[in-house]
Amino acid sequence: SPTVGVLALQGNVPEHLEALAASGARPIAVRRASELAAVDGLVLPGGESTTMSRLLDVFELLEPLRDRLRDGMPAYGSCAGMILLADRILDGRPDQHQLGGLDVVVRRNAFGRQVDSFETDLEFRGVPDGPMHAVFIRAPWVEKAGGDVEVLASVPHVTSEGEDAGAAAGRPVAVRQGPVLATAFHPELTGDRRVHGLFVEMVRATL
């Protein structure tokens, strides 16, 4: 089975390790360059992208990670991980690093104060078995996506609570560009393994 790392500087690390193990991967926590060199793919978890950005410097992982992404290593970013992978960030901190590789503009904390955190069901293209329950926590959305970016899921116009999703409606919240996958929400928190399953398949396809 493929070895899939979880960037373990901060954030939802144990949940991703567990979800990967349940999806047929051999999961390892990645904190140093030698561990990064050993993985076939990498998950960048949710948490706080500005903190992770700072820790990438402290752990001297910024350049090794950029190198592996440039070489085509499969990567999956959830929430803060999506922000790190995006080529451009709106409402980011001016000094926050981007790893890049995903041709999107993301807006950080896009859903604003009133809907800081919410849950809804959405259609996720290419996964079987119907709608996916999605948990958003101070999430970004994709403001603009390049031509090579596939939108896999968007915020529905009416949420599962029956509320009008307003300005959020139709915003892309799951995207893929070649070996790079990103979701604004947190499938590691719901027990739904379909996104991790998709990512493990993407990693397997590169071996």
User: Annotated binding site: which residue ranges?
Assistant: 47-49, 108, 137-138
The yes-or-no answer on residue 157 being catalytic is no
**Choice between 58 and 130, CB closer to ligand GLN:** 58
**What are the tokens at 80?**
């803060």
List the catalytic residue out of 15, 16, 97, 186. 186
Which residues here bind ligand GLN, judged by CB under 6 A? Answer: 46-49, 79-80, 83, 108-109, 137-138
Q: How far apart are CA 137 and CA 46, in angstroms?
A: 9
**Choice between 18 and 204, CB closer to ligand GLN:** 18
**Choice between 44 and 198, CB closer to ligand GLN:** 44
**Choice between 138 and 204, CB closer to ligand GLN:** 138
CB of 134 to ligand GLN, least distance (A): 12
Determine contact, residues 154/172, Cβ cutoff 8 Å: yes
From the list 186, 153, 156, the residue with the least C-alpha distance to 169 is 156
CB of 163 to ligand GLN, least distance (A): 21
CB of 34 to ligand GLN, least distance (A): 26
List the catalytic residue out of 79, 123, 161, 196. 79
CB of 83 to ligand GLN, least distance (A): 5
List the catalytic residue out of 15, 16, 35, 188. 188
The yes-or-no answer on residue 60 being catalytic is no
Kindly list the catalytic residues: 79, 186, 188
